[in-house]
């Protein structure tokens, strides 16, 4: 019987949250810190010293010996450097434990080896971490003991953003300012702040760690580079929402407890479509906190798995032919006094403020579709998007029948006079209650779907930070709000002007609205007729960052400078080439050291058996000979494909880093990888299982 857990008691126990601050900080200090957090005022050193002291005392009570500025460089994961609280030894041989406001506010991690895209050279190593007081500090407890983690931004000596947090905070300021402009036009004088709220649904795979350690491809790349499909995959849909197996349930329990202690509101857990695939979703949080929490979710999923003899796979497509993993980024914008700007109400056709917000978002997504696609671009995501398991690589917006009908009225007649309403759903069973169904169904094939009071951006890859998609969403919507306000603030007749603007935006951007099956070939053709971009590869998505209209939007709201965007483009190209290079070298290593020796061993044993049978009894061995010939032919194909892959990988590695190299890796190296995989996977179905050098798909996804 497992130990009973009181969630309310443990939730947030390792977080330096508002209740802890109220309890431990002097009232004056608490008030000043809240003004910094809520109003963006500057933090003075005197206040910082008091906060730092109390934060240190609280952390030591939790067992902490070290602190770290916890930041998010452009590697996709978090980074940290630990410093202990001890100061120089005293004359009596003792040491003091101290932590100053200066140490809290600023750190200098060096960090010259992090990706910078040319923003700084290695000999210009100085980089700074700056405390982000809007995301609470926390104590992480693990094998290293307890460490006080302070969420921070990371920037260069000259001020350029080298991380995910800095531009995210900038984008949040932009959408706050422009949303308030819009609200004031509608007579709202009470709301003081508007914040994007985010709820990311995290998908992941769990496999047995011992089997994982027998697969070099999983170790080096996070995905299987070889593997034949097992007799059964996911076609029976019996894993989806099925009963959670005991071993996985024990793992999920530990994950939840860890996250709850860190203040992460892990709420939903279930089996996903593919065998060994699962999902965890939290309650919504402010975008900045949600980004930090999602990083903690991914770290915790991986850390806790090891305790259970398991391995968590966050790659978007760890098994070819099996559904991959994504991350659904649920996004809305909410005022400090509880108004959700995406709440449509019972009669959306009469909710003019909502209709303006909605059509502004349609405009933003249509105008910047390529940029939004780029925000979800990842090497692993190329395997998933458009594969009838995830949204297509074409950006479209699902609104549902109700809102589509309202927009159609606006476009055709200039005004909307009614809204479709939900009808009673009759179950036909007397003991089951009838209930009102929504006026709109859900569309699981849409990349950007309206789901009642939020938009669900379903393109994001499972291992990626959700910072970039939210930076883009915040910025492009802020731009659309700004342009609408520029028009409406000059209008003589506000009611007429807002009516005309809603109709204009609905008409000009109706091409982005699509409620049908995003997986169908017909939609691909229809999207092309509409002029919507279909960007299938990360390499093709990257240039959107430096497209003129996107640079203008980012610079207008001080989210990115052109230089910062150019640096990110360089990093993206390098990341693509390096990832494919690692995968190609892993294939070369596995085939040369494991696959070919295993096949030779099998063919030798088979040939010996054939000769022995023929000599002993002169029996018909034609079937065995045919199998031997097939195996030998496939082995020849493997050697030929291997030689080709070695050649193109060497050529790619010798190229200068940048776009041309990334294109070469996509077109030449990846093609050669696919050519090598084909005969290897066929051989897996022939060679004796005892001789095959690694666990199969069936071993990995069914035996957990």
pLDDT at position 596 over 90: yes
368 secondary structure, DSSP code: T
Q: What pLDDT was estimated at residue 1?
A: 46
Instruction: Give the per-residue SS3 of 65-117.
Output: EEEEEEECECCCCCECCEEECEEEECCCCCEEECCCHHHHHEECCCCCCCCCC
Supply the pLDDT for residue 95: 65
pLDDT top residue among 241 and 607:
607
Dihedral sign of CA atoms 438, 442, 448, 451 in order: positive
Q: Compute the average pLDDT of residues 212-221.
A: 97
Please say if the pLDDT value at position 617 is more than 70: no
Q: How confident is the model at residue 333 (pLDDT cuts 50, 70, 90)?
A: very high
Cα separation, 642 vs 673, in Å, equals 8
pLDDT score of 115 = 66
Q: Does 689 have pLDDT greater than 50?
A: yes
| Higher per-residue pLDDT: 424 or 342 | 342
For 531: left if phi > 0, alpha if psi spans -120 to 50, otherwise beta; the answer is left
- Average confidence score pLDDT of the chain: 90
Residues 51-61, mean pLDDT to the nearest whole number: 93
Contact 447, 394 (CB under 8 A): yes
Mean pLDDT of 585-600: 97
* Chain segment 637-658, per-residue pLDDT in tens: 999 999 999 999 999 999 999 9
- Contact indicator for 537, 374 with CB cutoff of 8 Å: no
Which pLDDT band, with edges at 50, 70 and 90, does 290 fall under? very high
Residue range 374-394: mean pLDDT, rounded: 92
| Separation of first and last alpha carbons in the chain | 21
pLDDT for res 118: 67
Contacting residues for 486 by C-beta, under 8 A, at least 6 apart: none
Alpha carbon distance 104, 87 (integer Å): 15
> Which of 292-306, 327-341, 419-433, 616-630 has the least mean pLDDT?
419-433
81-125 pLDDT tens trace: 888 988 867 677 676 778 888 888 887 766 567 766 666 555 555
Residue 107 exposure: Cα atoms within 13 Å on the Cβ side: 24
- Residue partners of 440: CB distance under 8 A and separation at least 6: 399, 400, 401, 402, 403, 452
DSSP, res 228: P
- Give the C-alpha separation, 261 to 140, whole Å: 9
Q: What is the pLDDT of residue 378?
A: 95
Strands (E), 224-346: 266-271, 277-282, 285-286, 310-313, 327-335
Does the pLDDT value for residue 2 go beyond 50? yes
Dig out the tokens for 179 from the structure: 């949303």
E strands, 157-274, in order: 194-208, 266-271
Residue 336 DSSP symbol = T
Mean pLDDT within 390-419:
85
DSSP state of 383: G
**Block residue for tokens 């060679």:** 687
Q: Is the pLDDT of residue 423 over 80?
A: no
Q: What is the pTM of this model?
A: 0.93
Query: Residue 379 has which token pair?
Result: 């090497």
pLDDT band at 599 (very low <50, low <70, confident <90, very high): very high
Q: What is the mean pLDDT of residues 264-292?
A: 93
Residue 46 pLDDT greater than 50, yes or no: yes
Buried b (16+ CB within 10 A) or exposed e, 498-535: bbebbbbbbeebbbbbbbeebbeeebbebbeebebeeb
Mean pLDDT value of segment 588-593? 97
pLDDT of residue 436 exceeding 60, the answer is: no
Q: Which domains does the chain have, with CATH numbers?
A: 7-163 (3.10.20.70), 171-560 (3.30.590.10), 576-702 (1.20.120.1560)
Question: Of 636, 476, 654, whose CA–CA distance to 557 is shortest?
Answer: 476
Token digits of residue 107: 């750190």
Tokens of 19: 């209740």
Which structure tokens are listed for 291? 């980004």
In this prediction, residue 40 carries a pLDDT of 80
> Is residue 619 very low, low, confident or very high in pLDDT (cuts 50, 70, 90)?
low
Q: pLDDT per residue over 484-514, tens digit each?
A: 999 999 999 999 999 999 999 999 999 999 9
Location of structure tokens 């926390």? 138
Among 64-73, 298-307, 692-701, the minimum mean pLDDT is found in: 64-73
- pLDDT value, residue 422: 65
């Amino acid at each position: 019987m497992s130990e009973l857990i009181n969630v309310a008691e443990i939730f947030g126990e390792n977080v330096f949250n508002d209740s802890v601050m109220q309890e431990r900080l002097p009232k004056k200090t608490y008030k000043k810190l809240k003004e910094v957090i809520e109003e963006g005022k500057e933090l003075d050193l005197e206040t910082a010293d008091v906060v730092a002291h109390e934060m240190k005392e609280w952390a030591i009570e939790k067992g902490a010996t070290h602190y770290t500025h916890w930041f998010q460089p452009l590697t996709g994961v978090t980074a940290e450097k630990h410093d202990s609280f001890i100061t120089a030894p005293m004359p009596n041989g003792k040491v003091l434990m101290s932590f100053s406001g200066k140490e809290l506010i600023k750190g200098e991690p060096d960090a010259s080896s992090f990706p910078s895209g040319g923003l700084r050279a290695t000999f210009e190593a100085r980089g700074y971490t700056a405390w982000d007081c809007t995301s609470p500090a926390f104590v992480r407890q693990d094998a290293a003991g307890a460490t006080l983690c302070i969420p921070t931004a990371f920037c260069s000596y000259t001020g350029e953003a080298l991380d995910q947090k800095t531009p995210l905070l900038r984008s949040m300021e932009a959408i706050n300012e422009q949303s308030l402009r819009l609200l004031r036009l509608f007579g709202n004088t009470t709301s003081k702040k508007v914040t994007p709220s985010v709820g990311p649904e995290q998908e992941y795979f769990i496999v047995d760690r011992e089997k994982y350690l027998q697969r070099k491809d999983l170790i080096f790349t996070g995905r299987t580079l070889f593997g034949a499909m097992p007799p059964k995959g996911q076609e029976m849909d019996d894993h989806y929402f099925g009963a959670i197996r005991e071993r996985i349930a024990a793992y999920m329990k530990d994950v939840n407890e860890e996250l709850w202690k860190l203040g992460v509101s892990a709420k939903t857990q279930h089996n996903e479509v593919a065998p060994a695939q699962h999902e965890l979703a939290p309650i919504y949080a402010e975008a900045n906190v949600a980004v930090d929490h999602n990083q903690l979710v991914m770290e915790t999923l991986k850390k806790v798995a090891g305790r259970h003899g398991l391995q968590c796979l966050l790659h978007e497509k760890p098994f070819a032919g099996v559904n991959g993993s994504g991350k659904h980024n649920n996004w809305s914008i909410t005022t400090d006094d509880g108004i959700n700007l995406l709440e449509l109400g019972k009669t959306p056709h009469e909710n003019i403020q909502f209709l303006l917000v909605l059509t502004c978002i349609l405009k933003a997504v249509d105008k910047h579709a390529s940029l939004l696609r780029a925000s979800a671009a990842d090497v692993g995501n190329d395997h998933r998007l458009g594969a009838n398991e995830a949204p297509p690589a074409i950006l479209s917006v699902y609104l549902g029948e109700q809102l589509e009908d309202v927009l159609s009225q606006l476009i055709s007649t200039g005004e909307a006079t009614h809204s479709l309403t939900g009808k009673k759903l009759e179950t036909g069973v007397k003991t089951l209650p009838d209930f009102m169904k929504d006026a709109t169904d859900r569309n699981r094939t849409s990349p950007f779907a309206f789901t009642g009071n939020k938009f669900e951006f379903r393109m994001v890859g499972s291992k990626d930070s959700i910072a970039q998609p939210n930076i883009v969403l915040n910025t492009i919507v802020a731009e659309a709000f700004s342009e609408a306000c520029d028009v409406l603030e000059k209008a003589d007749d506000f009611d007429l002007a807002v009516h005309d603007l809603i109709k204009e935006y609905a008409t000009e951007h109706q091409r982005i609205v699509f409620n049908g099956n995003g997986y169908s070939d017909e939609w691909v053709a229809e999207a092309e007729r509409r002029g919507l971009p279909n960007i299938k590869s990360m390499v093709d998505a990257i240039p959107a960052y430096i497209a003129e209209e996107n640079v203008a939007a980012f610079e207008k709201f001080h989210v990115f400078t052109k230089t910062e965007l150019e640096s990110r483009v360089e990093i993206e190209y390098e990341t693509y080439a390096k990832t494919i290079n690692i995968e190609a070298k892993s294939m070369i290593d596995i085939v040369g050291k494991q696959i070919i020796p295993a096949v030779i061993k099998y063919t030798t044993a088979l040939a010996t058996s054939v000769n022995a049978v023929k000599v002993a009894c002169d029996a018909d061995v034609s079937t065995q000979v045919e199998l031997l010939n097939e195996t030998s032919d496939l082995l020849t194909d493997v050697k030929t494909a291997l030689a080709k892959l070695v050649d193109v990988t060497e050529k790619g590695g010798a190229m200068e880093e940048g776009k041309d190299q990334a294109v070469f890796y996509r077109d030449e190296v990846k093609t050669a990888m696919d050519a090598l995989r084909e005969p290897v996977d066929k051989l897996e179905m022939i060679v004796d299982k005892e001789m095959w050098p690694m666990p199969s798909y069936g071993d990995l996804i069914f035996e957990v």
